[in-house]
Amino acid sequence: MKINCIFLIFLFLLPAILASEDEGSAADDVINQRLSRAQGISIAVATAAIIVLFAVGKKKLTATKLFYAAAIAILLLIGYSYYYFTLTASAEEGIMVCESGQCFWAAHIHSQLRVEICGEEVDMGLEEGELAETHTHKERGQLHFHERLPVDPETKQVTDFSPLQLSVFFEGMGMQLTSECIGEWCNGDLCTGVPGRLSMTVNEVPSTSFGGYTWQDGDVIDITFSGDE
């Protein structure tokens, strides 16, 4: 029974354990507020369910049955918590918030970026970049953005996607990215003994946007500078 009690306490605290996220941005604050609200509802109802179970069924149910009933109640309510969170704060749709007549899209999106120069992959680093802009965390090759973008209150459309342009991220890394150059390498520079050329694909589709490309959630971006064959 002691092990059961420990397990029950763990289940009770699970929503708070799973609530950890990247910190330091306004978008994260909004998302975490929504998640905390859902978790608060779950914990409150779970507590009430346990009290009712013990109050009503104490004389009729064994301790083991009460344990399993309480565990099932908590698991169901944890599931509700994340179902509620998904409906109101999905990573793809973000959250719309308005303050003093100005509306924002609280985005939390990610994409994969791979850069290769003359056959060698470029390490973009971990935990690089400002949190208010596109940056990296602990996942190698993954771009993160979790900040607010301005939205037209009437059309509900984002009015400025410029923070998501690839050139902004590369500038933060101390590199240029144009249609001709990446870092110090420009079209025509020798690469493995032959003139090199810059190319880019987004989700395996060739792109000529380069630094002007506004990346989206789930993108897989490959940028290559290699010698012409």
Residues 50 and 125 in one domain: no
Read off the pLDDT of each residue in 26-35 and give the average, rounded to a whole number. 50
pLDDT (tens digit per residue) in 175-201? 999 999 999 999 999 998 899 999 999
**Is the pLDDT confidence value at 101 over 50?**
yes
Tell me whether residue 102 is in a domain: no
Tell me whether residue 96 is in a domain: no
SS3 197: strand
Residues 139 and 220 in one domain: yes
Residues 119 and 206 in one domain: yes
Q: State which of 43, 61, 89 marks the end of a domain.
A: 89
Confidence of residue 125 (pLDDT cuts 50, 70, 90): confident
Question: Does residue 41 or residue 148 have the better pLDDT?
Answer: 148
Tell me whether residue 100 is in a domain: no
Domains contained in the chain, number: 2
Q: State which of 89, 118, 139 marks the end of a domain.
A: 89
Predicted pLDDT at 19: 47
Residue 55 lies in domain: 2-89
Read off the pLDDT of each residue in 142-148 and give the average, rounded to a whole number. 90
Helical spans, DSSP H, in 18-125:
26-57, 63-88
Residues 33 and 140 in one domain: no
**Is the pLDDT confidence value at 47 over 70?**
no
pTM for the whole thing? 0.61
Predicted pLDDT at 223: 97
**Is the pLDDT confidence value at 218 over 80?**
yes
Classify strands 102-106 and 109-117 as parallel, antiparallel or unpaired: unpaired
Lowest mean pLDDT among 47-51, 97-101, 106-110, 143-147: 47-51
Residues 208 and 163 in one domain: yes
Question: Does residue 25 or residue 36 have the better pLDDT?
Answer: 36
CATH of the domain at 180: 2.170.130
Read off the pLDDT of each residue in 121-140 and give the average, rounded to a whole number. 87
H or E segment to which residue 10 belongs: helix 2-17
Classify strands 142-145 and 148-151 as parallel, antiparallel or unpaired: unpaired
Residues 114 and 222 in one domain: yes
Identity of residue 202: V
Predicted pLDDT at 91: 36
Residues 17 and 85 in one domain: yes
Residues 115 and 221 in one domain: yes
Residues 79 and 120 in one domain: no
Tell me the HSE value of 85 on the side-chain side, using a 13 A CA sphere: 23
Tell me whether residue 57 is in a domain: yes
Predicted pLDDT at 6: 52
How many Å apart are CA 67 and CA 64, to the nearest integer? 5
Q: State which of 56, 89, 122 marks the end of a domain.
A: 89
Read off the pLDDT of each residue in 10-27 and give the average, rounded to a whole number. 49
Residues 75 and 177 in one domain: no
